Amino acid sequence: MIEFNCVGSLSTTKKWTVKNCTSTSCSFEIALNEKVMTTYSELYIPSRTLDYGVYQLTLTVTMVDSPNLKSSSSAYVRITATGITANLVQLGTSMITRGNQQDLLLDPGIFSVDPDEDTFDATKWKYTYYCRIYGLYNFPNLQGILLSIDDSTIDPYNPSCLSNRSGNGTGLIFGNLTSSPNSSLTVLSGSLQSNQMYQFMIYMENRKNSSIQATGYVLVTIEVTHPQLIAVGCVISPMCVPNLEFQLLNPTTQVALFTICIGTCTNLQSIKWNIYQGSDNSTSSNSTQWTLFNNTILYENVWFFDLTLLTAQKDSFESCFTKQLQASSPSNNKATWKVQGIEHLANDECQVSYTCTGAGDQPTALTCLKATPDADEFKTILGKCSHSKGGE
């Protein structure tokens, strides 16, 4: 029988190093932010920490009692630019309704998203707009080449969206002509026909590199009313992946949506969600047939949870925590608390995940966050998030 008699410790230390690589070597070590933990088995590097390029990530394990006994292993990672998301309207909403006497503003220069930057730089892009009468025609084109919305060329098979156009660009106003030409487009009231659905498309091309492109869509229904403009977005935006005309969702993952009423919404009295199911309409021009899902009530608290309350509670949570944080210390007067996710659990409770930024006095902020759930204002909000009991 073989027996081991190890007097020394078998403990080890772990250390990650990150080096920037050139075409010939990886010799320049990167000084990581102190918040990046480099002494664990796993290495987590937050987004936007590393610039574009190739990096060598090396883990070295060393015996505590015998420092000469060590082993290293490396992996190589390339950081590339993330594609932008071209949004014609706020939050990348896919379908909106406007009145026949209301102007329609499309502003990809403001509403598009660059995940690699804090703000979107509209000056880096060229903008071209297209439009078609949805469900009846394709986008106007000439021998397969798309005709932009301001092109006076006539496609006899796919008519222009502009009902009263007598010349090039009638009914259109392009904005920001100096700093970022054509980064917004206003379609004047009366230019689109009532009781009709239109599909607008934006094609964006990078000014320095024409191979970098992005495309976005929005469906617009024109009615003989004066509706409010409602934008719809995902509470946890990474869970809704833009895919041109739609958002891609994992079928096994819950998703929470919120809305923003844009403009003057002082007379808003209630919020009601309708859910539509789409199917390909092969008999028409490359469109989707949307059918109202009438059985929502049968799946309440099974598939759909508190559809009329999510938006209000998200805003209330953020307001409550932000107010408490800013009052906790003068160093926290610019702190903000943002909801990242609202999830209904199987036991009918409500779970909220969040991020906190701008706290100068972190110990006081942490104490405040722990105490806020005991505040009466928070308990009132939380009670609305569940049908029969408080949430956690």
Among 228, 250, 266, give the residue marking a domain's end: 228
Residue 294 · residue 257 · CB < 8 Å: no
Residue 254 lies in a domain: no
Same domain membership, residue 102 and residue 73: no
- Is 183 among the domain residues? yes
Is there a domain that residue 378 lies in? Answer: yes
**By residue range, what is the domain housing residue 375?**
307-385
For residues 193 and 95, state if they share a domain: yes
191 and 146 in a single domain? The answer is yes
Please indicate, yes or no, whether residues 94 and 223 belong to a single structural domain of this protein. yes
The verdict on residue 96 lying in a domain is yes
Distances (CA, A) of 221 to 5, 95, 96, 128, 133: 80, 8, 6, 21, 10
Residue 266 counted as domain residue: no
Chunk the chain into consecutive blocks of 10 residues (it has 392) and report each block's average pLDDT, rounded to whole numbers.
69 92 89 86 86 93 87 92 89 89 93 88 94 92 92 90 60 86 92 92 92 92 88 76 73 75 73 77 66 72 57 70 82 80 51 76 76 68 44 36
Q: Residue 367 — φ and ψ, nearest 5°?
A: -60, -40
The CATH number covering residue 103 comes to 2.60.40.10
Which amino acid does the sequence have at 319? Answer: S
Angle made by CA atoms 204, 208, 213, in degrees to the nearest 5: 25
Give whole-number Cα distances, 79 to 36, 196, 198, in Å: 17, 45, 39
Task: Specify whether 57 is located in the same domain as 25.
Answer: yes
Q: Give the pLDDT confidence score for residue 354 in this predicted structure.
A: 76
Q: Are residues 313 and 381 in the same domain?
A: yes
The number of folded domains in the chain is: 3
Residue 201: the pLDDT is: 95
Q: Record the pTM.
A: 0.66
Is residue 70 located within the same domain as residue 97?
no
Listed residues 211, 228, 245: the one ending a domain: 228
Residues 18 and 112 in one domain: no
